[in-house]
Amino acid sequence: MTDVQEVSAAEETEVSESQIAVHWREEENYYPPATFISQANAADPAIFERFSEEHFPECFKEYADLLTWDRYWNTTLDTSNPPFWKWFVGGRLNACFNCVDRHLASSRDKAAFIWVPEPEDEETKAITYQELYRRVNEFAVLLRDFGGVKTGDRITFHLPMVPELPVSMFACARLGVIHSEVFGGFSGAACGQRIADSESRILVTMDAYYRQGELIDHKAKADEAVEEARKQGVEVEKVLVWRRYPGEYRSESPMVDGRDFFVDEVLKDYHDQLVEPVSMPAEAPLFLMYTSGTTGQPKGCEHSTGGYLAYVAGTSKYYQDIHPEDTYWCFADIGWITGHSYIVYGPLALGTTSVMYEGVPTYPDAGRPWRIAERLGVNIFHTAPTTIRMLRKLGPDEPTKYNYRFKHMTTVGEPIEPDVWRWYHEAVGKGQAVIVDTWWQTENGGFLGSTLPALQPMKPGSCGPGVLGIYPVIYDEQGEVVEAGSGKAGNICIRNPWPGIFQTIWRQDERFVQTYYEKYCRNKESKDWHDWPYFAGDGAVQADDGYFRILGRVDDVINVAGHRLGTKELESATITVDEVAEAAAVPVVDELRGRAVEMYVSLKPGVDPSDDIEGKVEKAIETQIGKIARPKSVWVVPDMPKTRSGKIMRRVIAGISNFADVGDVTTLANPEIVDEIREQVQSEKMARGEVPRELSPEEMEEIKAFGRAE
Q: Which stretch binds ligand WTA (CB under 6 A): 30-38, 89-97, 388-396, 436-444?
A: 436-444
Is residue 615 packed enough to be buried (19+ CB in 10 Å), middle (13-18) or exposed (0-12)?
exposed
Q: Does 440 bind ligand WTA (CB under 6 A)?
A: yes
Minimum distance between the CB of residue 194 and ligand WTA, rounded to whole angstroms? 15
Q: What are φ and ψ of residue 601, in 5° steps?
A: -130, 145
Whole-number Å distance between alpha carbons of 640 and 20: 29
Residue 415 interacting with ligand WTA (CB under 6 A)? yes
| Least Cβ distance, residue 560 to ligand WTA (angstroms) | 10
Distances (CA, A) of 112 to 88, 244, 370, 669: 27, 20, 21, 60
* Minimum distance, C-beta of residue 294 to ligand WTA, in the bound complex (Å): 12
**Closest separation in Å from C-beta 260 to ligand WTA:** 31
d(CA 226, CA 229): 5
Burial class (CB in 10 A: 0-12, 13-18, 19+), 111: buried
* Beta carbon nearer to ligand WTA, 376 or 585: 585
Residues whose CB falls within 8 Å of the CB of residue 458, separated by 6 or more in sequence, listed in order: 29, 30, 31, 32, 425, 434, 435, 436, 437, 451, 464
Q: Which stretch binds ligand WTA (CB under 6 A): 70-78, 245-253, 259-267, 409-417?
A: 409-417
Task: Please report whether residue 448 would count as binding ligand WTA according to CB under 6 A.
Answer: no
Shortest distance, position 686 Cβ to ligand WTA, whole Å: 30
Stretch of 247-255, 332-340, 428-436, 519-527 lying at the interface with ligand WTA (CB under 6 A): 332-340
Site string for ligand WTA, 459-498 (x = CB under 6 A): ----x-----------------------------------
Stretch that binds ligand WTA, among 55-63, 311-319, 433-441, 603-611 (CB under 6 A): 433-441
Q: Is 405 helix (H, G, I), strand (E, B) or coil?
A: coil
CB 355 within 8 A of CB 113: yes
Which of these ranges, 175-183, 374-382, 435-443, 569-577, lies near ligand WTA under the rule CB under 6 A? 435-443
Told to check if 333 binds ligand WTA by CB under 6 A, we report no
- CA–CA gap between residue 653 and residue 598 (Å, rounded): 9
Q: Which of 564, 568, 616, 685 is the binder for ligand WTA (CB under 6 A)?
A: 564
Rounded-to-integer distance, Cα 219 and Cα 210, Å: 13
Asked if residues 424 and 435 have their Cβ atoms less than 8 Å apart, the reply is yes
Cβ 356 to ligand WTA shortest distance, Å: 18
State how far the Cα of 619 lies from the Cα of 646, in Å rounded to an integer: 28
Query: By CB under 6 A, is residue 330 in contact with ligand WTA?
Result: no
559 near ligand WTA, rule: CB under 6 A: yes
Q: In angstroms, how far is CA 664 from the centroid of its own chain? A: 33
- The backbone region for 213, taken as left when phi is positive above 0, alpha when psi lies in -120 to 50, beta otherwise, is left
> In the complex, what is the shortest distance from the CB of residue 285 to ligand WTA, in angstroms, rounded to a whole number?
18
CB of 492 to ligand WTA, least distance (A): 9
State yes or no: residue 705 binds ligand WTA (CB under 6 A).
no
Contacts to ligand WTA from residues 338-357, by CB under 6 A: 338
Q: Do 417 and 702 contact (CB within 8 A), yes or no?
A: no
Amino acid type, 371: R
d(CA 229, CA 237): 11
Segment lying near ligand WTA (by CB under 6 A), choices 186-194, 401-409, 549-557, 675-683:
549-557
Report the residue number, 319 or 406, with the smaller CB distance to ligand WTA: 319
List, edge to edge, every strand of the sheet that includes 472-475: 472-475, 489-494, 534-542, 548-553
Sole binder of ligand WTA in the list 277, 361, 552, 655 (CB under 6 A): 552
Residues from 267 through 306 that contact ligand WTA (CB under 6 A): 291
Binding region for ligand WTA (CB under 6 A) out of 61-69, 170-178, 407-415, 423-431: 407-415
> What's the min distance (Å) between Cβ of 437 and ligand WTA?
5
d(CA 428, CA 397): 9
**Interaction site with ligand WTA (CB under 6 A):** 291, 336-338, 412-415, 437-442, 463, 537-538, 550, 552-553, 559, 564
